[in-house]
Amino acid sequence: MTSLERLLKTLGHQEPDRVPLFLLLTLHGAKELGLSIRDYFSKPENVVEGQLRLGQKYQNDCIYTFFYAPIETEALGGELTWSESGPPDSGEPLFRNIEKIKQLKVPDVRSNNVLQKVIKATEALHKEVGNKIPIIGAVTSPFSLPVRQIGLDNYLEVMQTRKDLFRHLIKVNQEYCVTFANMQLDAGATVICYFDTLVPKTRLPEETYLNAGFRIAQQTISKIKGPVATYFAPEIIPDIIDTIVKTGAVIAGTSSFEDIGLMKKACKGRLTVMGNLNSREMHTWDVTKTKQTVQDIIRKAASGGGFILSDDTGEIPFQISEETLMTISETTQTFGQYPIRYS
């Protein structure tokens, strides 16, 4: 089976030849090319070469065109702070004075040099892998993106007291999100990862999410012209599985805080479960621990298809060793063969 055939079988809640492995590697491409993280992301050609090398090296079942989380604020003119050992982070919020939210406009993806790097990398990777390997694009949800644009405290204030500004924020970000997602799909992406990081219960009341975040996700995902994987990374989501199904997503990213077996049971036939290797603890694992963890997750979640082995945040940290990644891959290739062995 090709990786794409393996994914499609899995999304149909059937058992393919083995469990699909989605190593969501971004920064490791810089290591492969011997570049700094900043230099690596400066050219789409670097990301193309890095992803191709990583895919071949680890027998990965996906190509990942996610660059870094604050790329969307960078596209609007926001500053980034760069690190030698991790992803860049946003600098100051775009707007400290909430009244300036009225100035926010939809970036033109076609002319925006920052976002075009993602589109060009996606096009080039699709030319290389064709329809053999899924290409995973990414967007930040319109509901979560304002945290980077105006800061969490300001956003909560706007949500509660300035409905006019809240509506403007969402309208602009939703139009941008849908356009960027669909341009990635047109360029060759197979699935869009929808990062909805303003999670109910942990950063705001569940009622607020259900009244606003869910409605916005439902509207946005309905306009994205391809399958969507929702990631609340890395939070607990079992209580809102029914809600995720109603948004139209087909895959749910699952955190390591959750019981993967219970998640699979709750999602069976409705959502493909993706997860749930603990990316925050992975750097402490030796070979034995890595093998045991992979085998345990597969035992609990792989039966009947509808499961993709991956990490729990949507980005494997730069510090994770080649040995650990190779062990994850090799264990999946052997132990993840269907039918699953339980002894």
How does DSSP classify residue 18?
B
Q: SS in 3 state form for 224-287?
A: CCCCEEEECCCCCCHHHHHHHHHHCCCEEECCCCCCHHHHHHHHCCCCEEEEEECCCCHHHCCH
d(CA 184, CA 112): 14
- The encoded tokens of residue 257 equal 């805080």
Residue 103 burial (10 A CB sphere; 0-12, 13-18, 19+) = exposed
- Closest by Cα among 298, 154, 144, 308 to 232: 144
pLDDT of residue 73: 86
What does pLDDT average to in each consecutive run of 10 residues of the chain (343 residues)?
A: 97 97 97 97 98 98 96 88 92 86 89 96 97 97 92 90 94 95 98 85 63 90 97 69 92 90 93 94 97 96 96 94 98 95 72
Q: Which pTM does this prediction carry?
A: 0.94
Q: What is the CATH code for 25-264?
A: 3.20.20.210
Are 337 and 331 a contacting pair, CB within 8 Å? no
Q: Among the residues of 106-151, which ranges form H helices?
A: 113-129, 146-150
Distance (Å, rounded) from C-alpha 311 to C-alpha 283? 13
Nearest-5° Cα angle at 114, 109 to 119: 60
User: Residue 202: its pLDDT value, please?
Assistant: 55
Q: Where are the domains of the chain?
A: 25-264
Copy the structure tokens of residue 246.
Answer: 């109603």
Q: Give 181-234 as a DSSP string.
A: HHHHHHHT-SEEEEE--S-BTTTB-HHHIIIIIHHHHHHHHHHSSS-EEEE-TT
What is the structure's pLDDT at 163? Answer: 93
